[in-house]
Structure 1
Amino acid sequence: MLRSTWNFLKRHKKKCIFLGTVLGVLSMLPTLREALMQQLNSESLTALLKNRPSNKLEIWEDLKIISFTRSIVAVYSTCMLVVLLRVQLNIIGGYIYLDNAAVGKNGTTVLAPPDVQQQYLSSIQHLLGDGLTELITVIKQAVHKTLGSVSLKHSLSLLDLEQNLKEIRNLVEEHNSSSWTNNNGYKSLLCHYMMPDEETPLAVQACGLSPRDVTTIKLLNETRDMLESPDFSTVLNTCLNRGFSRLLDNMAEFFRPTEQDLQHGNSMNSLSSVSLPLAKIIPIVNGQIHSVCSETPSHFVQDLLMMEQVKDFAANVYEAFSTSQQLEK
């Protein structure tokens, strides 16, 4: 009876954690969007273009790079935010379950008191701060390498855009695979944008650590181990694939063939049938941040939150951290 009761509570707790993830992600998206719009301020460039300056071609080139960078970073960072918060809340949820299970037992110590939970969850600010800034730098370089030489007059189809996004992703993710390897030799995908290196910031304070700090560092190290695992890399990559697919779906609305186009044959429904000059695509790409980083439940965020791979991984994390063996680590 007691065992079945605890199993019921664990299932109920998982639903609460999922709801917490949804609310947490939606509450952080405005902060993420604001940070992106501040660091990649395309609005100031479009304002300059309205005055028809003599260097408008140079401004357009800057706008091209910033617009693509902003939308691509938005996809990456939103996917990271969803999966990272899901992992963190399930780790905390596992510890809270163990704390509740130990209520009334003599000599038990609370594993995750509220102040530790708060300090631990605040580590997500790295993704919204230094991690985001570094991610912007890497993606901007990849965008420049891929699209820097493409003329504003050059026409691109949706299929061309898809190929360009793949090339940019390859540059970004190859960069991280070659520059970041954990102690086991496994190449971790994008992990250091989500969490600071082990040496910073709390771990460097080897002297005078409070019990709260020690517990928080333990949680952070356990989280880092999760983020550096092949399973996490697979889940994040699946989210990124879905995210970029949704981004292309959003832009597809602007590539619909006209009636005149359709008169030329049925093939006009393909991804390569309609092409637009890059100068006309830039505003379309530039506006995608408002869809990707929308705090109102959007198809983009809903897709990520409801993915089976994400739910299964989160469930495995919760199970791993809600077992009594966790106490022995």
Structure 2
Amino acid sequence: MLSVRDLWRRHRRKVFISVGVLGSGYLLYKLYGAHRRRLDALERELAIQRESEELMKVQLSQIMQAHFENIQTISDVMTLPHAMHNLSCRVAEELDLSQLLERLLQGKGQPSTLTQSEKLNLWERLKILSFTRMALSVWATTMLSLYTKVQVNILGRHLYIDTARRFESSSTTVLLNGVQVTAQIPEKVGAFVTNRERESGDLVDKEDQQKFLGTVDFLCQHGMPPLISDMEAATQEALKGKQLSHFFNSTALHETIMQILIIFMSQGSPHSWIKYVMPEDSATSRIDDPAPSDVTEFEQLMTEARAVLLSAEFGSILEICMKVVVNAVVEQMGAKFRGGSIAMGLPLARVLPQVAQMCPLLLEEPSKNQFIRIIKCIPEVEPFFTRLYANMPSAY
């Protein structure tokens, strides 16, 4: 008994230390296990959250892709055919060459009915109007083809914002048509969403939507007279000194049409051509307007459309498309009229009928219009509209 007490007395300090160490180790082990379990649970939650975000991103990308394709179809089968039909009718009405041709044919059959001076004046007028009609058809076809897509993509963007809200995501990066885009709900989204829209859940009022799409007719209804006048002035400048007897080949024809378009686009102040496409008093409000409640949906849509048309990127796309269309026109003229090939050179007087015959082809309905198909296939066009659809117009 004494030996046990002596043993305890001699070693109790060591026993206490050993028990303390073992107890502390056990406590630390239990704390670490609990902490590890919490970390594992957190990692599982994060993994589930990441999977959920990836799934949401895939779903959002699929929604965006499907909707983007649908609105491009709307432009191709609804808004553009309507606009091109009106344009074709208006150009045929305002730039009718039939009376000039009839008088020239009458003068050819009955020489006494026209003096030499009158014949020359008629030919000069035919020269100016033929090239005016050609250049105007190139510009208007290209512009309407692009502008209708600007409209539907802006509308699509607004509808996307509404969809993105349902996903409760302020920003996500997705791949749309091979273009990586950041789809983002703007901080000032309330600047163009009225209380009525928040209550109804509709981002864009249907009446304002129809009114906005209806502005594509502004060119034909209001913009055509000044457009014709300014295009004719540019044509007169470009054709100055070019006589009817001068030989025209494909290169000369291409240079002449492009020169007309360049002179036309540079007339007046920069972007003055927008007055043919949109009302000058439209889109006076801005997203960052200090009193956004006064901005209607229609005004907001027009503001965004104007911002896109005034952007440097749209100007670059428009220029590229016009050059490609002019190339296609000259190439087709060379293939279409082989009996008197313009590639080898013809007197300008013999080129004019060929120029006149090409204009209706430029204004054909989209399903038959090869020039509109060419515009759609230009590499820079689709990425431009993909970015427009997926990013706020303020980026422009």
TM-score interval for Structure 1 and Structure 2 normalised by the shorter chain: 0.7 to 0.9
Distance across 2 between alignment mates of 1:189 and 1:231? 16
Whichever residue aligns with residue 152 of structure 1, its letter is L
Whether the aligned pair in 1 keeps the contact of 2:154 and 2:389 (CA below 8 Å) is yes
> Mapping of 1:241-260 within 5 angstroms?
241-253=323-335, 256=338
Tell me the CA shift for residue 95 of structure 1.
1.2
Highest relative contact order (Cα 8 Å, sep 6+), 1 or 2?
1
Shift of 1:98: 2.6
**Cα distance, 1:107 vs. partner?**
4.6
Cross-structure match for 2:68: 14
Over 3 Å counting, the alpha-carbon distance change for 1:228 and 1:201 in structure 2 is closer
Paired amino acid for 1:19:
T
Shift of 1:256: 4.4
Aligned to 1:294: 364
Residue 306 of structure 1: how far off its partner (Å): 2.3
1:9 Cα offset (Å): 1.1
Displacement of 1:249 in angstroms is 1.2
Q: Does the 8 Å CA contact 2:283/2:300 hold for their aligned counterparts?
A: no
Q: 1:125-153 deviations in whole A, cap 9, x for unaligned?
A: 22223223222111111111222442222
Deviation at 1:59, TM superposition (A): 1.6
Q: Which runs of 5+ in 2 are unaligned?
A: 1-54, 108-112, 169-197, 286-292
Alpha-carbon shift at residue 116 of structure 1 (Å): 1.4
Show the counterpart of 1:48. Answer: 103
Task: Give the match for residue 280 of structure 1.
Answer: 350
Rounded to whole Å, the distance in 2 between the matches of 1:294 and 1:212 is: 41
Q: Where do 1:22-41 residues align within 5 Å?
A: 22-23=76-77, 24-41=79-96
Partner of 2:158: 95
Q: Write out per-residue CA displacement over residues 40-69 of structure 1, whole angstroms, 9 at most, x where no aligned residue.
A: 111221122232240333222211111110
Deviation at 1:291, TM superposition (A): 1.1
Query: 2:208: which partner in 1?
Result: 116
Letter in 1 for 2:277: M
How far has the Cα of 1:104 moved from its partner? 11
Partner letter of residue 302 of structure 1? R
* Kept in 1: contact 2:258–2:326 (CA 8 A): no
Shift in Å, 1:285: 0.3
Distance 1:8 1:104 in 2: 13
State the secondary structure of the residue aligned to 1:51: helix
Q: Distance in 1 between matches of 2:279 and 2:87?
A: 18
TM-superposed deviation, 1:192: 2.7
Give the Cα separation in 2 of the matches to 1:200 and 1:216. Answer: 9
Larger Rg: 2
Q: How far is the alpha carbon of 1:97 from its aligned partner?
A: 2.4
Q: Distance in 2 between matches of 1:157 and 1:294?
A: 26
Identify the residue that residue 306 of structure 1 maps to in structure 2.
377
Distance of 1:309 and 1:56 partners within structure 2: 46
CA distance, structure 2, for counterparts of residue 50 and residue 250 of structure 1: 27
Shift of 1:99: 3.1
Encode CA deviations 1:194-238: one digit per residue, 9 max, x unaligned: 2122x25998xxxxxxx9971101110111111111111111111
Count of equivalent residues: 295
1:84-128 Cα offsets, whole Å, 9 max, x none, are 111110000111223345579985642212211101111112222
Residue 196 of structure 1 is matched in structure 2 by 279
Q: Which of 285, 293, 311 lines up with 1:229 in the alignment?
A: 311
2 CA distance for matches of 1:148 and 1:157? 17
| Percent of aligned pairs sharing the same letter | 23
In structure 2, give the amino acid aligned to 1:15: E
Normalising by structure 1, what TM-score?
0.81
8 Å Cα contact 1:235/1:309 also seen in 2: yes
Structure 1 stretches of 4+ with a deviation exceeding 6 A read: 103-106
For residue 280 of structure 1, report the CA deviation from its aligned partner.
0.8
Give, in whole Å, the separation in 2 of the partners of 1:67 and 1:193: 21
For normalisation by structure 2, the TM-score amounts to 0.68
Q: Name the counterpart of 1:266.
A: none
In structure 2, give the amino acid aligned to 1:127. Answer: L
